[in-house]
């Protein structure tokens, strides 16, 4: 199975800050990577697909980049409603696996 790691595991930032989360795959997954946002008590919500494409309806302050084994997720200007846990997920082969998550809160 492909292992996904994320860093940091949690972060605290101020409103308006730029926030960056990294995700690393244990082997080359090309661009078969999604980013999800999960708010407490809610289902995950797809934000970024194919590593860098913004899902319809998602604010443009969210972005993703990378390919191969190293990926980055960025919130360009953190907003109070962005408080959530963010997960990366590969879908290069079976089983699709998720990173352990990065919890983001407001300083």
Q: How far is the CB of 35 from another protein (least distance, A)?
A: 11
Nearest distance from C-beta of residue 25 to another protein, angstroms: 14
CB atoms within 10 A of CB 5: 13
- Give the Cα separation of 3 and 99 in Å (integer): 8
Which positions touch another protein (CB under 8 A)? 32, 34, 36, 38, 42-46, 49, 55, 87, 89, 91, 94-101
The token pair at 87 is 């997960």
Please say which residue, 19 or 33, places its beta carbon nearer to another protein.
33
User: Residue 14 or residue 56: which is nearer to another protein going by CB?
Assistant: 56
User: Whole-angstrom Cα distance, residue 59 to residue 29?
Assistant: 26
Q: How far is the CB of 92 from another protein (least distance, A)?
A: 9
Q: Which of 62, 70, 52 is nearest to 5 (CA)?
A: 70
């Amino acid at each position: 199975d492909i292992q996904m790691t994320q860093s940091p595991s949690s972060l605290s930032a101020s409103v308006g800050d730029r926030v960056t989360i990294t995700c690393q795959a244990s082997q080359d997954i090309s661009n078969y990577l999604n980013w999800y946002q999960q708010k407490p008590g809610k289902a995950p919500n797809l934000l970024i697909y194919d590593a860098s494409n913004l899902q319809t309806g998602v604010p443009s302050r969210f972005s993703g980049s990378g390919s191969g084994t190293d990926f980055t997720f960025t919130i360009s200007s953190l907003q109070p409603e962005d408080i959530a846990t963010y997960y990366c997920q590969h879908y290069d082969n079976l089983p699709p696996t998720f990173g352990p998550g990065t919890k983001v809160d407001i300083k």
